[in-house]
Amino acid sequence: SRRTFLKGSAVVGTSFAVGAGFAARPGVASATPLMLKAQFTDAAIASDGVTPKVMTYGLGDGVAKGMPPVLRMKKGEPFAARLFNGLDEPTTVHWHGLRIVNAMDGVPEMTQAYVYPGDGFDYAFTPPDAGTFWYHPHCNTLTQMGHGMTGVIVVENPDDPQFDAEVVLNLRDWRLGKGGAFTAPFKPRDAAKGGTYGTVRTANWQEGPSYEAPAGGLVRVRIAATDVTRIYTIGLEGGQGVIVALDGNAMDKPFLLDRLDFGPGQRVELVVRMPDEEGKSVTLGNFRSSTPWTIATLKAVGSASLKRDLGDVTALPANAIAEADLSTATRIPLDFTATAEHKPTESICGSLGYTFWAINKVPWQGDTPDPVAPLSDLKLGKSYVLQVRNRTPHAHPIHLHGLSFRVLSSNKRTFLPPPTDTILLQPDEQAELGLVADNLGDWLLHCHIIEHQKTGMSAYFRVV
């Protein structure tokens, strides 16, 4: 049966699935726990060598060969994974963007104990929303994520429209020197500004990979920005595509992609129309710097019997996310600032040794024992409006665990996205974020530029 087939296949690797006439890439869907092993491996990432001691996740007992597997779950169906720590330092798994119970959120000292080397932890939950999400550790994250531990999650929805192919892209940088060896994960002077960018830019651990898709067809492209620093401005060349979802949530109407900014932690889903002519390509590029570069290429193959039209792309079904009641909502001001006054705290989960940032004047790194007090206690079921203000000249992708919010207003944007778990706050942006506190527990709020998080831009809410 399909189920046995899925369980029996160790899935490592890329991305190509669901194609008319194309081999389906086996996914992972089971309430029998997946064995998810955090481990070291050696991988060829840069063109000039093999990077030793990359950190990754592998399925089952064997040695992982490359990037963390794309985990496939089903909306509303139980999922379970048994983490085994094969590293030489503590770790945990955070399921970024999934609105699951607090005890499964993966934040050490807050929702669970550290998982020490040789130990394990059982994660089990039911994802309530369909869409593109991701997973990563929440301990010593600049190193663990920077060295490879970022994987994509696809939560499938049986009610989704069909496409001719699907490509999943895990975008990230690597900080590598000669021969592919890791260099320092950050530079303090960059951590105090926009963050330290990598030297090797990859999609699915490859520089500018190319995927085949049926000529004339519609391809669903799920993109996750899992780097610890890089903000992208994406665009297409050689063809067109529409944005159908942002951060796991459907757009009301598919929206033609021109240029789109998105930062660490965020996801974009596009439907790309493949050229009719075999051999022609559509290129996904990053246009943020003056010299644009190729993220990945989609190459048309087969006869263009499909001739699908972007105009036929309909909205994906929406997730059921409660809207804040603005007449009763409590307003909570949140100021994001630069600071240099506080001493960093030592932590089992790693300290960078600097404090550069703060939320409401309090710096915290997010995974130390004895956390600072919550920003505030939120009452279960009540509505809130977070009045966020970026008082810095840098962009910050601010991520809230466990709860989704909607951008109600902003002085820096005309287009307001669907509900999200991460907002890329632009320099000097002031925005109002509406949410319903419908998930009990302690939920982190932090910048997903990990150097910023770990040097102070971190805090949490407590839903009681």
* Segment contacting ligand C2O by CB under 6 A, of 2-10, 25-33, 232-240, 440-448: 440-448
Binding mask 297-336 for ligand C2O (x = CB under 6 A): ----------------------------------------
Question: Is 338 near Cu ion (CB under 5 A)?
Answer: no
Residue 245 or 398: which CB sits closer to Cu ion?
398
Tell me which residue of 263, 64, 296, 56 sits closest to 168, measured CA to CA: 296
What does 232-253 look like in DSSP terms, one character per residue? EEEEEESSEEEEEEETTEEEEE
Question: Is 96 near ligand C2O (CB under 6 A)?
Answer: yes
The answer to whether the CB of 431 falls within 8 A of the CB of 411 is yes
Question: Is 94 near ligand C2O (CB under 6 A)?
Answer: yes
We find the least distance from the C-beta atom of residue 113 to Cu ion, in angstroms, to be 28
Neighbouring residues of 238: CB distance < 8 A, sequence distance ≥ 6: 275, 280, 281, 282, 283
* Segment contacting Cu ion by CB under 5 A, of 172-180, 184-192, 216-224, 444-452: 444-452
We find the least distance from the C-beta atom of residue 193 to Cu ion, in angstroms, to be 10
Instruction: Tell me how many residues contact Cu ion (CB under 5 A).
Output: 4
Q: Work out what residue 96 binds among Cu ion, ligand C2O, none; the CB cut-off runs from 5 to 8 Å by kind.
A: ligand C2O
Question: Is 452 near Cu ion (CB under 5 A)?
Answer: yes
The answer to whether the CB of 237 falls within 8 A of the CB of 208 is no
Which residues between 400 and 439 bind Cu ion (CB under 5 A)? none
We find the least distance from the C-beta atom of residue 365 to Cu ion, in angstroms, to be 13
Question: Is 265 near ligand C2O (CB under 6 A)?
Answer: yes
The C-alpha angle 231, 206, 247, rounded to 5 degrees, equals 40
Residue 31 CB neighbour total at 10 angstroms: 13
Please give the C-alpha separations between residue 372 and each of 52, 284, 363, 367, 381, in angstroms, as whole numbers. Answer: 37, 42, 9, 11, 24
* Segment contacting ligand C2O by CB under 6 A, of 57-65, 177-185, 237-245, 443-451: 443-451
Kindly provide the residue ranges of all beta strands, DSSP E only, lying in 218-350, ordered along the sequence. Answer: 218-225, 232-237, 240-246, 249-256, 260-262, 267-273, 281-286, 293-301, 330-338
The answer to whether the CB of 198 falls within 8 A of the CB of 147 is no
Q: Work out what residue 446 binds among ligand C2O, Cu ion, none; the CB cut-off runs from 5 to 8 Å by kind.
A: ligand C2O
We find the least distance from the C-beta atom of residue 97 to ligand C2O, in angstroms, to be 8
Please give the C-alpha separations between residue 86 and each of 96, 347, 350, 392, in angstroms, as whole numbers. Answer: 22, 20, 18, 39
Instruction: Tell me how many residues contact ligand C2O (CB under 6 A).
Output: 10
Among the listed residues 230, 399, 452, 454, the single contact to ligand C2O using CB under 6 A: 399
Which residues between 339 and 398 bind Cu ion (CB under 5 A)? 396
Residue 3 CB neighbour total at 10 angstroms: 10
Question: Is 400 near ligand C2O (CB under 6 A)?
Answer: no
Q: What is the DSSP letter of 426?
A: P
Q: Taken in order 47, 50, 51, 55, is the CA torsion positive or negative?
A: positive
- Judged by the rule CB under 6 A, the positions of this chain that interact with ligand C2O are 94, 96, 136, 138, 265, 399, 401, 444, 446, 448
- Judged by the rule CB under 5 A, the positions of this chain that interact with Cu ion are 396, 447, 449, 452
